[in-house]
Amino acid sequence: MNAQQSPDHPSPQDRPARLTVGVVGAGRVGPALAASLQLAGHRPVAVSAVSDASRRRAAALLPDVPVMEPAEVLAHAELVLLTVPDDALPGLVAGLAGTGAVRPGQLLVHTSGRHGTAVLDPATRAGALPLALHPAMTFTGTPVDVQRLAGCSFGVTAPEELRLAAEALVIEMGGEPEWVEESARPLYHAALALGANHLVTLVAQAMELLTTAGVTHPARMLGPLLGAALDNALRSGDAALTGPVARGDAGTVAAHVAELRAHAPQAVAGYLAMARTTADRALAHGLLKPELAEDLLGVLADGGDS
C-alpha cells in the first residue's frame, strides 16, 4: 500500500462521495458529527428530534435542517447517523428495518461504543451498509464539540469491504480512526468508561472534599496537579504512581480514612477501592515495597470493616 492509500490518506476511490446526511437522535453527538461532515462538504438534510433540548441542539448546530420523523430521515439521506443511547439502538434498528425504512445501499452509521456492526444486522439484511464509528470524546451539545473532534480517536468497526470508507469518513470529521474488532467492542467501551466517566466522579468528589476543607478555589488547585498526573500516566503508566499508597505510608492512609468517615462517609468506599487497586498495581510493578505493603493492606482491610 502506498502513502496515498493509507488510512490517513485514503485514495480518491476510497473517499466517500458527497452525501446527503440524516441524523436520528439529536442528542449531544449526532448534530456535532453532522456539522463536521458538513464542513467536509457533505449535506445534512434531515434530523429527528423529540425533546425541546434536542430541537435546540439541532437548531444551533444544524440551522435550517428540517426536523422529521426517523423514517422520513432515512427516506431523505444517503448517510444516516443513528445517535441514540446504546440500549435504545437495537430496538430502533429493528423498527426501521421492519417498517421498510431502510434502503439498499444506504450507509447506516451508529456511534455506540458498546456495539459493533452486528446490532445493525436487521438493516444490513435490508441492504444497508453498516458502520460503527464511536468518537472517544465527551460531548456538550454545543458548537465547541465540532472543534474537539479535531484529533479525536474513533473506534471503527465495519465489514472489511467498508473499512476504508469508514476510516475516510472519520478523517473527514477531523478524527483519527482506530480499528476495533467486533468481539472487542464491549471491552473497548468499558476501558473508556473506566477512564473518562470515573474520572469525572473522582474529580467532582475531590473538589467537594477540598471545599469542605476550606479551600476557596478547588478547581484552580486541582487543575495543574491533575493535568500533570494525567500527562504522567499517559506517558509512563504505572511508573507514574505516587502518593501515600504507592509509598506504603499506612499511617497517612489511616488518617485519610478516618477523616473521610468523619466528613464525607459517602467517599470512603470509593477511596478504599481505589487505594486497594493502586496498592496491587504498585506492588506488581515494584513501586510498593513488600515489607510496607502488609501494614498498608491491613489499614485498607480494617477501613472497609469498621
Question: What pLDDT digit, counting tens, does each position of 195-208 carry?
Answer: 999 999 999 999 99
* 3-class DSSP assignment, residue 122: helix
Q: Which residues in the chain come in under a pLDDT of 50?
A: 1-7, 9-13, 306
Q: How far apart are CA 203 and CA 121, in angstroms?
A: 39
DSSP element (H, E) containing 132: strand 129-135
Q: Which of 29, 32, 71 is nearest to 48 (CA)?
A: 71
Q: How far apart are CA 68 and CA 130, in angstroms?
A: 22
212: which residues sit within 8 A by CB, 6+ positions away? 263, 264
Using left for φ > 0, alpha for ψ between -120 and 50, and beta otherwise, residue 41 falls in: left
Looking at residue 13, its pLDDT comes to 40
Q: Which of 170, 222, 172 is nearest to 199 (CA)?
A: 222
Looking at residue 5, its pLDDT comes to 45
Looking at residue 305, its pLDDT comes to 52
For strands 20-24 and 79-82, give the pairing: parallel
Asked if residue 101 lies in contact with residue 93, where contact means CB atoms within 8 angstroms, the answer is no
Asked if residue 109 lies in contact with residue 133, where contact means CB atoms within 8 angstroms, the answer is yes
Distance of CA 131 to the CA centre of its chain: 17
Q: Which of 99, 100, 102 is nearest to 120 (CA)?
A: 102
Looking at residue 190, its pLDDT comes to 96
Q: What are phi and psi of 132, to 5 degrees?
A: -115, 110
Q: Which of 85, 66, 84 is nearest to 76 (CA)?
A: 66
Q: How far apart are CA 106 and CA 125, in angstroms?
A: 12
* 3-class DSSP assignment, residue 90: helix
Looking at residue 12, its pLDDT comes to 39
Looking at residue 26, its pLDDT comes to 86
Classify residue 23 by burial, with Cβ atoms within 10 Å: 0-12, 13-18, 19+.
buried
Q: Which of 105, 127, 135 is nearest to 20 (CA)?
A: 105
